[in-house]
Structure formats: C-alpha cells, structure tokens
Structure 1
C-alpha cells in the first residue's frame, strides 16, 4: 500500500523531457511496460503494443484485446504516417433490428449494453499484429512479457480502478467478480494486490502462438459461446465472424490549421474529420489574440463544435458500407461557408448539418458513445511516433469476460433505431459493418515540416472536442501539451453546452450565457495523453484528471498532479 501511495502521490515535478524515447499513458505500470520495451531496443510501435497489453491488465475497465483500436504510425525516415483500423465489427448475422426486443420495440441504450448482443468482433490484436509487421523491431512474444508479469505476479488496485469497480459492480459477470471482488461482494480495496492467472495464460498463448490463436480454434469457440449463451441479450456470433476479421489500412486524413498540418484517423472514425472541421472553421478568428481566458474564444469554439458535430452526425459511418463525403466536408470553400455562420457576439439560433459536395441523399446518423477508452502517445529515440486510441466502449464493456479479459460493447455505437424521419441512417447496424467512432488519434506537423505533437483522448464523443482544444492550446495559446491537456473543456455537440466543472470555465459561465450560450457546469470525464517536440527534445503530457504519467527511457517519470475525482463518472 505504501508503494501505491507513493506512486500516485500528488507531485509537482517537471514533465519529463528527453532526447530518448518517451511514453505517455493512462497508468504508470503501462508506461513502464512501454519504456521497458524501448530500452530493450524496441520501436515506438513495439512500445505501444506493450503499453496497450499492460493497460489491458491494470485498466480492465477501459480497453484490452477484447476491444478495438485505431493506430497512427509515423515513420521518421519517410516523414509519412500510416493508419490502421482495428475497429470491432458486427457479426454477419446482425441486421438493422439487432437491438430490438421480443416486443418488436427498440431497446434503449442502457438496456442494449449488457450481455452478448453488444459485443463486436474484437479488432485490437489484429491491429497490433498489422502494426508490428509494419513498424516492429522486437519479436512479437517479447512485447507481451510486461503484461504477463503483471497478470501473473499481480498488481495493486489503483484508486481509479477501485472507483470503477464500485460504480459498475452490478454490470460485471461472475468471472470478473471472482477476480476483483471479495466474498462480501465488495470490490477489492485500493492498494490490494490482485492477480489474474487466466489472463496471464491467455496472453502467454497469444504471445507464443500469435493472434490466430485468439481468432480461430478453442479460444474463438470460447468467446462465441460466451456471447451467444449470455443471460442478457444473447448474440448470434459465429467462429467464422472471428476467423474472417481483418484489421485494415485506411487512408490517413490530413488538413491544415494555420501553419500546421494535422493528420488523424478517417472513417469509420468520425474523430479526425470532425477535429479538422472544428479547426478550419475557427481559422478566420484570431484565437491567439483572444487567449485562453477570454469567454469569446470559448464561445467560438462551442459554435464551431456544433457545426462540425452536426455534419459528423449526418454523414459519417463505415466507408465500406456508406458513402462518406470526406472531400466535401473538408473543402475549404464549404468550411468557409460554415464558418460564416459563426458570430463572435451571439449564438446561432439553429444548428443543422450542411450540404457538402458529394453528400449522399437520405442519410442521417446519431449514436451514443460512453467512456470506456484509453489513449497512449509514444516516441522512440529515432523519432518514430505511434499514437493509439483503444477501447472496449463502456466501462467494463459488455460486462462479459473471457479468461479474465473484458469483452467490448462496441455495437451500441451503432444507431439502435435504423430509420429516422422515414429514411435509413448511415450508422445503422449491418452485418460485418464497423460502428462509427469518435476516437481521434492525431499527429501534428509543425511549420518546419517535422512532427510537433501527437495527441489523443478518451471519453466518448468528448474525444473530438478534447483533441481540438489540445491543438488550439498548443498552436494558438502557446501552451505546453501538459497545460493544454489540463485546460477545462467547453463541450458543445449540440445546442446545449457543458462547461467542465472545477476548471477555469466556471467563472466564464455568466459571460457565455450573455453571448447566448445555453450552458451548464458539470463533470465531463476526460482523459488525454500526448508527446511533443520542443526545441529538438521530446517531452509529454498526461491528464491531471487521470492516473496518467509521462515516462522516458532515462528513468525520468512525472506523476501528474490530479485535479480531483469525479465520482461515478470514471473518465475511461
């Protein structure tokens, strides 16, 4: 317990800066796994995989191999970025009434989450394998060793995990309860050492036999039986659904903001395109002169967010199934027209999606995302960068587990009701389709053409606003990545805005209301990580709302001073 208290103490140490590799992750044990791999000669990709696997063990409420991931890989030699789509997929048996009950009525989101029907075919391991083939240096099995040790030998329950266990006790299955709860039904206390031998054995098998051992054979059969025999919302997944799953290369999605080039993930993620739209619509305003403490700057941010989210909701889905008008959405003339709707001294009365060139007719999309995600940012000593956002969707996903590993509820990112106003929505459920995501792993090139910043976030649809805020903080307000992450957020996906409670925005609420903003204060459940290049050296930032740290190969670690807990809203 003493060790854990020291680990999560409120320190005011400077952020680690290094010419060597740097890892920013949501848990110090995971960051240590990444730096171990860097020190063993691994690449940024190797370290990212090791960090993800360790997070699977110590942050089971947020992500793992039972979920999905998006990778951005920057190659310092070629100065190019590749993106990998490891998003979960619907079973082929899924149709647009997948989340309807026996009474023929659609389930509400809360009722659809638990059990087997919400589980998508996991994509994380396939994405890891593809990333490793493209950018790995060390053997595949070596990357699993830190996570295997944590699961086999044990780790101490952190305050954040304990909070999640308390908040979601009724949601998790018997197998999970056997690991993390006592005979009295209460979660294991903070600081208690816990082991997960079943998960250790699973990771050892995948390390030795490769990802196929998860997608075919006994392990696949076990996963299928778990979701199809679930007591709540049983699925119709097959072993063929797992065997046929493939991670996909997707075109990198890039745009510009001032003198910076911003590159992110394209569909089925809506994160990248929406971030780019928010930024482009703000470019005509002097955000630098307004500054971070000016309510007008945040009003403009909210208005631009509303417009971008409206287009996102209307047009973005899985590009293998629906026509996504990316070129039209990012067209500078179109974005200038959208920006012209924004006024610095009043709020828009109505916000609707625009009509970009190439927009298909009669589509609409609107889904609900919640907070079961994690992000990590890594650079190696050669300057290669890997930015990953990975998720199981809700905290503890579907509530189901296989061999000590949680299974996602990603399919509830689809629109449950497939029609609206008499026409089909873009993000409806279809067999084999990947649900729309807000995850937005992003890499920013500076005016010198070199990578300046890699940043990502967790927190459902707030991810988009978080990443846009972080970029504005660095580019316009000249903040460090750490300080940009720490800024409070004004989140405005629609007409109502939420000002993050307990931040600098509290004092701005009256001024925002005077500008016509419909705004209220409340917790948002945010979590970000970043690495950045400053004067030729790499440093990083981690969210003060989380247990995140920045760690480098030289042994310098910063445990970020936390800004306060958000009970019952873990920002996973």
Structure 2
C-alpha cells in the first residue's frame, strides 16, 4: 500500500500494534517511543517475530538536524560459545536451549527511551496496551497460526511451549481467529513496566537469575555474566549510501545488519544500478 501522511506513520506486521504505536504519537510521544510500544505489542501477538528474548537494530534520523544514528541491540553470543559448538548437530543452533543468545531487546528499549525519548510519555505507558492484550486475550493472526501449525510437533513436545501455544480445549495449537491469552508474559511485562530500573531487574536481578538458571539447567550457554555484561551499541557514524536517484542518500547500520544489501536492492529497483 502507498499513502501520504501529514505528520507520521506507523507500519508493523500487525494492525493492532500499528494502532498502539500511532496512539503513542497522538499522546505526545515521539517515533522512538512509538517504536517501543509497537514492538512490545508484536512480542505479545506475533512472538515468532519479536519479543523480550530477541533484539533489534534501529536507524534513527533527525530531519531537523540531518543527523543519523544507528542502535545495535541485537542478541549476542554467550561467553561460553565456541566456533565449533554446533558442528556435530547443526539443529542445536536453531532449536533448544543451546540456540539461545543473550536477550537484548529490553536493554535496547531502555537505552533509546532514556537517550532519545520525548520526556512526555511515561515508560509504563508504552507497556499498558500490550499488557492488556496479553492478560485479556487477542485473536490469533494468520501469520502466527501458520507458524504454530508448521511447528506443532515441536511445540507439543516442549512443555514450556505447549503451555503457551496449545489450546487446552482442543489439545491442538491455536488456529487463526482463536483468542489466545499470555498471562505469564503479561505479568512479566507488568514487572518491567513498573520497575525503577528495568535493565537492572532483567539483566542483574531476580529475572536474570530465573532466565540464566533455566537456560543453564537445560544445557544452554547464557548465564548471569552474559546478561549482566550486555551493552547496547550506539553508532554516531553510520554507513552512508550514495548514488541513488534524485541525489538521495541513505543512512543505516553496519553489519550484522543487512543495510548494504537493502540499499543495493533499492538502487537496482530505481534503475541506477544494472545487473
């Protein structure tokens, strides 16, 4: 879809989440706060796409100053990781506790909220709509339903996954349009929303002990040192791509992002590069 907006637009892979991000802007928040609220929602309704166990890379452009900054809040490999740890079983790099990297989403959210937030919207305000969805339920999207159906055998075999994604009434994974609740996740979001220092809670406090304990007890690598040592990276000198139509320039993050590939695709589509 192509449309014009006078002041702002929010795009995500779920309509409910885009509306939540829009409402933050209406309440006086800025693009950074809108992004946080939107992705918190995605973590609830489309957990295959986002969530507290993952991370993100962000490009922030200030139209008034022309300044571009990038934020790397991607997951990081635990200190106990080795180059050959998955050589004998590559499936372990995708499934199970050994596949888990150090979660970074919350650290990134708190970092950009404090550094780039408008100061007009409270931290807890960004969580409220997503907590409500998690506690009271939301309709399962076609995308989530497809992912659940595709991985049903794995979900049924893993107790913690089964508890969340299997409908007790049918004994099968949730289908499109079913109402799903994620009350435990909602309670976790409540604790983070109301914390004076959410990063301390999640990365050094009681949550860190719970997270690291479960992972290491099940053969994973992420421990409390990994959580306590995580840092979000802010790059003041991002990559700049030139040679685009209309003398346009694109700014974006360096690897591990795919910015270089993305801008090349745009250039090819615009006809400025042939292949």
TM-based fold match above 0.5 = yes
Asked if residue 266 in structure 1 is aligned to residue 248 in structure 2, the reply is: no
Higher relative contact order (CA 8 A, sep 6+): 1
Q: Deviation of residue 133 (structure 1)?
A: 2.0
1:206 is matched with which residue? Answer: 192
1:73 and 1:83 in contact (8 A); partners too: yes
2:215 is matched with which residue? Answer: 227
Q: Larger radius of gyration, structure 1 or 2? A: 1
1:245 is matched with which residue? Answer: 230
1:254 is matched with which residue? Answer: 240
- Relative to 1, partners in 2 of residues 1:275 and 1:195: Cα closer, same or farther, differing over 3 Å? closer
Higher percent of residues as helix: 2
- Relative to 1, partners in 2 of residues 1:48 and 1:180: Cα closer, same or farther, differing over 3 Å? same
Deviations 1:422-475 (A, max 9, x none): xxxxxxxxxxxxxxxxxxxxxxxxxxxxxxxxxxxxxxxxxxxxxx24x544x4
Deviations 1:476-503 (A, max 9, x none): 49xxxxxxxxxxxxxx9xxxxxxxxxxx
- Relative to 1, partners in 2 of residues 1:275 and 1:31: Cα closer, same or farther, differing over 3 Å? closer
1:71 and 1:131 in contact (8 A); partners too: no
Q: Across the two proteins, how many residue pairs are aligned to each other?
A: 263
2:23 to 25, 30, 36: 36
Q: Deviation of residue 15 (structure 1)?
A: 4.3
Asked if residue 141 in structure 1 is aligned to residue 124 in structure 2, the reply is: yes
For the residue of structure 2 that corresponds to 1:19, the secondary structure is: coil
Q: Which runs of 5+ in 2 are unaligned?
A: none
Cα distance in 2 between the residues matched to 1:22 and 1:123: 26
1:71 and 1:127 in contact (8 A); partners too: no
Q: How does 1:197-346 map to 2 (within 5 A)?
A: 197-209=183-195, 210-230=198-218, 234-250=219-235, 251-258=237-244, 259-269=247-257, 271-276=258-263, 279=264
**TM (normalized to structure 1)?**
0.44
Cα distance in 2 between the residues matched to 1:263 and 1:142: 30
Q: Deviation of residue 25 (structure 1)?
A: 0.8
Q: Deviation of residue 201 (structure 1)?
A: 0.7
Q: Deviation of residue 170 (structure 1)?
A: 2.5
Q: Which runs of 5+ in 1 are unaligned?
A: 1-13, 101-105, 280-467, 478-491, 493-572
**TM (normalized to structure 2)?**
0.89
1:125 is matched with which residue? Answer: 106
Cα distance in 1 between the residues matched to 2:141 and 2:222: 34
Please tell me the root mean square deviation across aligned C-alpha atoms, in Å: 2.0
Q: Deviation of residue 111 (structure 1)?
A: 4.2
Cα distance in 2 between the residues matched to 1:44 and 1:140: 14
Cα distance in 2 between the residues matched to 1:214 and 1:69: 17
For the residue of structure 2 that corresponds to 1:91, the secondary structure is: coil
Cα distance in 1 between the residues matched to 2:234 and 2:211: 26
Cα distance in 2 between the residues matched to 1:261 and 1:202: 41
1:107 to 89, 93, 115: 89
Structure 1 segments (4+ residues) deviating >6 Å: none
